[in-house]
Amino acid sequence: MTTAQFLQNLLNGISIGSVYAIFALGYTLVFSILGIINFAHGAIFTLGAYFTYTLAVGEFGINGLLSGLTLDLQIPFALSLLIGSVLAGMVGVLLERLAFKPLRTRGADSLLALVSSLGVALVIVNAIQYLVGAEIYTFPSQVYGDIKPAMMFEVAGQSVVVRTVQVIIFAVCMVILTLLGYVISFTRIGKALQAVAENQTTASLLGISVDKIILVTFFMSGFLGGLAGTLVGTSFGIAGPYFGVTYGLKGLAVIVLGGLGSVPGAVLGGIVIGLAEAFVPPDYSAYKEAVAFAFLFIVLLVRPQGLLGRSMIQKV
């Protein structure tokens, strides 16, 4: 591998890895509070991309209930991204109220939360298909403003292509990660979140409204999922209502690799899997999709607590 190829892979890996990281954080937040995996997270990822598309572009294709509709909202992309992600966060709150809370209050088997969240995922994905069809939607190439789509660098006689989208994705992810780190570590709500994650009963005895914290968590989770969906959408297009499924599953690999419930772990896991995928040799690129799952499988066998997770204690 030449230096140029190495740099190119590194760049591609870090860019996609940072999206995996913020997406996987959505899983992690919910898992650390409730100890369950929200299987509708992939659907919220998809939904976020569609929300932003509707706000920023708003041109629909020939299928679905909204076929041929053109919404000319003229909302700047940055604002659309924000509103779209907030809407996705609100869907996350709705999801918690519809699919998780009723099960919690009834003290139902935690496996059922899997089924009910998947039910919601099914509703979301098919509602999208019902409304706007299964076609591919792409953001216009100038969505991030009037800047060059790519830059070329010469490294040791070979060129490295830096796509502007990649840089923006990485920058947005870093801003979000810093912000999230600040909120979790230094604000009242973040401290409350940590307390609830540690022990719900004790937290509620200390006067923390557990129910409110759960809602905040689902909002943040949905926001991160929706944001990740939009960022991927601007880079590769929205490949139909099912495009979140693969990311949903890869996200699971990310959180297991980093350690279930660990926030820094999710970030590290995302970057590691992004890089591992980028460094798959071109001859084996068809197997790229399996890399994340190979990681998942091996980590579970060798170190089930993940890279940065706490080791599991067997309770009698």
User: Least distance (Å) from another protein to the CB of residue 140?
Assistant: 29
Residue nearer to another protein on the CB measure, 111 or 152: 111
Residue nearer to another protein on the CB measure, 106 or 188: 106
Q: Which residues bind another protein (CB under 8 A)?
A: 36-37, 39, 98-99, 102-103, 106, 108-109, 111-116, 118-124, 126-127, 129-130, 245, 249, 252-253, 256, 260, 286-287, 289-290, 293-294, 296-297, 300-301, 304, 314, 316
Residue nearer to another protein on the CB measure, 121 or 227: 121
User: Least distance (Å) from another protein to the CB of residue 193?
Assistant: 21
C-beta neighbour count of 158 within 10 angstroms: 13
- At position 256, the amino acid (one-letter code) is V
User: Least distance (Å) from another protein to the CB of residue 247?
Assistant: 12
What's the half-sphere exposure (Cβ side, CA atoms, 13 Å) at 172? 26
Residue nearer to another protein on the CB measure, 133 or 274: 133
Residue 273 CB burial class (10 angstroms; 0-12, 13-18, ≥19): buried
Residue nearer to another protein on the CB measure, 55 or 257: 257
Within 8 A by CB and 6+ apart from 190, the residues are 182, 183, 184
CB 113 within 8 A of CB 103: yes
Between the alpha carbon of residue 281 and those of residues 20, 107, 297, the distances in Å are 21, 49, 21
Distance of CA 80 to the CA centre of its chain: 17
Question: Residue 211 is encoded by which pair of tokens?
Answer: 């129910």
User: Least distance (Å) from another protein to the CB of residue 210?
Assistant: 20
d(CA 5, CA 8): 5
Place of tokens 């060129």: 159
Within 8 A by CB and 6+ apart from 13, the residues are 271, 274, 275, 276, 277, 278, 279
d(CA 129, CA 219): 24
User: Least distance (Å) from another protein to the CB of residue 42?
Assistant: 10
Residue nearer to another protein on the CB measure, 66 or 195: 66
User: Least distance (Å) from another protein to the CB of residue 252?
Assistant: 6
Between the alpha carbon of residue 163 and those of residues 169, 241, 316, the distances in Å are 10, 26, 54
User: Least distance (Å) from another protein to the CB of residue 108?
Assistant: 4
User: Least distance (Å) from another protein to the CB of residue 149?
Assistant: 30
